[in-house]
Amino acid sequence: MAKPGYALGAIRVYAEPKITAIQLVFMRADANGRLEPNVSYTSKVLGIPSAGGPQEVRRAGEQFVGFVVRRSVAADGIGLVREHALRVSRP
């Protein structure tokens, strides 16, 4: 859960080649809901970081409500979920 005024803006992914750890990046949201990457904080690293360092998954200025992980034998894919992706249209 993000602190008040902040939202999920990115995920740092450690992978070699399978995902070994992630770290969430929370960014301050301005009055229009756009994220400010220069004003951010991170969660603890979840998992065991690989030696290669993290790759960051994000989309400039956009807020996310969560993330999904693709898994076969081990976690091998990750993506961010935008708010409008959760809306379901009903007949």
Burial of 17 (0-12, 13-18, 19+ CB in 10 A): exposed
| Average pLDDT of the segment spanning 41-68 | 81
- Which tokens is 14 given? 């450690």
Q: How far is CA 70 from CA 18, 73, 74, in A?
A: 11, 10, 9
Please report, as a single letter, which amino acid is at residue 5: G
| Average pLDDT of the segment spanning 7-22 | 86
Percent of the chain with pLDDT over 90: 15
Separation of alpha carbons 24 and 41, rounded Å: 9
Residue 91 counted as domain residue: no
> Which residues are 50's β-sheet partners?
none
Residue 26 counted as domain residue: yes
Please report, as a single letter, which amino acid is at residue 65: V
* 85: pLDDT strictly greater than 50: no
Residue 1 counted as domain residue: no
Percent of the chain with pLDDT over 70: 74
Smallest CA-to-CA distance from 73 within 19, 14, 21, 22 is with 19
Count how many domains the chain has.
1
**What is the pTM assigned to this prediction?**
0.75
Highest mean pLDDT among 22-26, 39-43, 67-71, 84-88 belongs to: 39-43
Q: Which of 24-38, 60-74, 77-91 has the lowest mean pLDDT?
A: 77-91
Residue 45 counted as domain residue: yes
User: What domain range is 79 assigned to?
Assistant: 6-86
